[in-house]
Amino acid sequence: MSFLQISSNVQKMKQLESSALVRTTNKIQNELRQGVVKPYKEVINVCWGDPHMAGVKPLSFVRQVLAACLYPQLLEGDKLLVDVKQRAQRLLKTCVGGSVGSYTSTAGIPEIAQRVSEFIQKRDGGVPSYPENIYISPGSQWSLAKILNILVNPEASPRTGVLTPVPCHITTVLSITGMGAVAIPYHLNEEQGWTLQVEELQRALEAAKGLCNPVALYVINPGNPAGHVQSRKSMEEVIHFVSEKKLFLLADEVYQDCVYGENVEFFSYKRVLAELGPPLSDTVELASFHSASKGFMGECGLRAGYVELVNVDPAVMKHIYTFFSTDSCAPVLGQIALEVMVNPPQPGDPSYLIYNKETQHIKTTLKQNARRIFEVINNLQDFSCQPVEGAFAFPRIYLPPKAIQRAKEAGMQPDTYYCTRLLEEAGVLLSPGCEFGQKEGTYHIRLFIMTPQDIMVELLKRLSTFHVKFIKEFS
């Protein structure tokens, strides 16, 4: 099998910008272990949206329930609180053979899908949710790829198109193009705080005419990497737009718990759609994605998420079921973590005090970190940050022409060059904006908010010092 014989869709894929950064990080960490002296003792890694990697501690209740499910002998001792034991026993009963080592239905353990639908209904102020519309999966990106596989006709001419935000992580774009579809870029408006504007959707759709057949709109709210939380009004406009253009709405809502702007509230697309009433509420097709990886739990390594489908044609639903059935189930421990996420300890439960303390601590940390990032970055020259409302911060760097020239000479994107120097000289690993797409001639970095406060303070200190030095060097 030579390179030219492999799938043309795979041939087109380019290596991720971050690959080289990760290799450099590994090299630096090895050197540090071997005692090489650097201006820092360890690398702060906030390249991924990975809370535990960034130093956040797992929630005790989650880990205790999971450990007891894995090794039920723990239920016999006196180390675990009664509600931990009861939860583990109840969840083990939902596993065939009483073991988390058994397969489950491909859509997930039915009792857990039931809990997820109860959570959604409560979150959405009573808008009904049905477990049969919920598919538990190894993660939101996995569910998104599966739904796209159903919407995208790889043989169609012109190709199937999916409206995709800029910025948006390159892996999503690769996933779309990898299945033979076209990602139609629409730009979020940085100057207006990374808002999604319907006029821009109109423009993008117009530009795609004749080039592809648009079937879906992909939105990320709260935004990754943009960190914007959509207003209800903006969401209503988007719903009218997809209805008019007959587009399937793909709503990535995995950062719904990570909202820390003042006077900012998360609404799900499902709720806004339902509250718009008929005919919209009965017709607009929607897939909403959520995950156990983000939010307070941050269990990325367990791999679990879900998608809820709304208003999808029953004939299509049948095929979705069949198509999902060709895969194995989501990891059972991930499914169990998802259950705990949607059904946490309640006031009065023995584990509530510690659970509440741990999650409140994370909430305070997020708010403080977001405030700090906004203040520190906007106080620096040639650096600006829009209000950080949720998920990430995606500040803009105004790189001097000489720095851009130097990056070109090094064969790198300008913001990758900035991140490489930041990594080598200050021991901070961030993602460069080019990994997400950005308006031509603009440069950004993505900053993950969910780190312990002392780490964020140290990170911002290192970033500030480096930035001032870097800008000076090229001025």
Binding to a copy of itself in span 26-65, by CB under 8 A: 45, 48, 50-55, 58, 63-64
The one among 39, 125, 128, 154 contacting a copy of itself by CB under 8 A: 154
Strand-pair partners of 306: 136, 290
Footprint of a copy of itself on residues 216-275 (CB under 8 A)?
248
Tell me how far apart the alpha carbons of residues 394 and 227 are, in angstroms, rounded to a whole number.
7
Task: Write out the H or E segment, with its range, that includes residue 137.
Answer: strand 134-137
Long-range contacts of 32-36 (CB under 8 A, 24+ apart): none
Residue 175 binding a copy of itself, by CB under 8 A? yes
Q: Which residue has the tokens 């790198």?
A: 412
Residue 153 binding a copy of itself, by CB under 8 A? yes
Tell me how far apart the alpha carbons of residues 198 and 206 are, in angstroms, rounded to a whole number.
12
Instruction: Tell me the one-letter amino acid at 286.
Output: L
Using the minimum distance from each CB to a copy of itself, give the nearer residue, 230 or 293. 293
Using the minimum distance from each CB to a copy of itself, give the nearer residue, 94 or 464. 94
Residue 378 binding a copy of itself, by CB under 8 A? no
Instruction: Tell me the one-letter amino acid at 6.
Output: I
Residue 325 binding a copy of itself, by CB under 8 A? yes
The one among 193, 301, 350, 387 contacting a copy of itself by CB under 8 A: 301
Long-range contacts of 202-205 (CB under 8 A, 24+ apart): 202/241, 204/163, 205/163, 205/245
129 φψ region: left (φ > 0), alpha (ψ -120 to 50), beta (else): beta
The stretch near a copy of itself (CB under 8 A) out of 94-102, 189-197, 224-232, 270-278 is 94-102
Least distance in angstroms from the C-beta of 86 to a copy of itself: 17
Least distance in angstroms from the C-beta of 239 to a copy of itself: 16
Least distance in angstroms from the C-beta of 255 to a copy of itself: 16
Tell me 10's DSSP state. Answer: H
The CB density around residue 313, as the number of other CB atoms within 10 Å, is: 10
Residue 100 binding a copy of itself, by CB under 8 A? yes
Footprint of a copy of itself on residues 186-205 (CB under 8 A)?
none
Using the minimum distance from each CB to a copy of itself, give the nearer residue, 269 or 470. 269
Tell me how far apart the alpha carbons of residues 180 and 172 are, in angstroms, rounded to a whole number.
13
The stretch near a copy of itself (CB under 8 A) out of 170-178, 233-241, 368-376, 461-469 is 170-178
> Of the candidates 336, 258, 353, which has an alpha carbon nearest to the alpha carbon of residue 56?
258
The stretch near a copy of itself (CB under 8 A) out of 123-131, 200-208, 226-234, 318-326 is 318-326
Q: Which residue has the tokens 């993008």?
A: 204
Least distance in angstroms from the C-beta of 433 to a copy of itself: 19
Residue 427 binding a copy of itself, by CB under 8 A? no
Q: At what angle do helices 60-70 and 352-378 cross, to 10 degrees?
A: 130
Least distance in angstroms from the C-beta of 8 to a copy of itself: 6
Strand-pair partners of 305: 137, 291
Residue 283 binding a copy of itself, by CB under 8 A? no
The stretch near a copy of itself (CB under 8 A) out of 14-22, 33-41, 353-361, 441-449 is 14-22
Tell me how far apart the alpha carbons of residues 42 and 51 are, in angstroms, rounded to a whole number.
17
Tell me 259's DSSP state. Answer: B
Using the minimum distance from each CB to a copy of itself, give the nearer residue, 223 or 334. 334
Those residues whose C-beta lies under 8 Å from the C-beta of residue 368, and which sit 6 or more positions away, are: 453, 456
Residue 23 binding a copy of itself, by CB under 8 A? no
Using the minimum distance from each CB to a copy of itself, give the nearer residue, 98 or 126. 98
Using the minimum distance from each CB to a copy of itself, give the nearer residue, 13 or 198. 13
The stretch near a copy of itself (CB under 8 A) out of 138-146, 265-273, 368-376, 415-423 is 138-146
Residue 319 binding a copy of itself, by CB under 8 A? yes
Q: Which two tokens stand for residue 108?
A: 């997930």
Report in angstroms the alpha-carbon separations of 351 from 15, 84, 100, 218, 361.
45, 7, 23, 38, 16
The one among 303, 396, 446, 467 contacting a copy of itself by CB under 8 A: 303
The stretch near a copy of itself (CB under 8 A) out of 146-154, 264-272, 341-349, 387-395 is 146-154
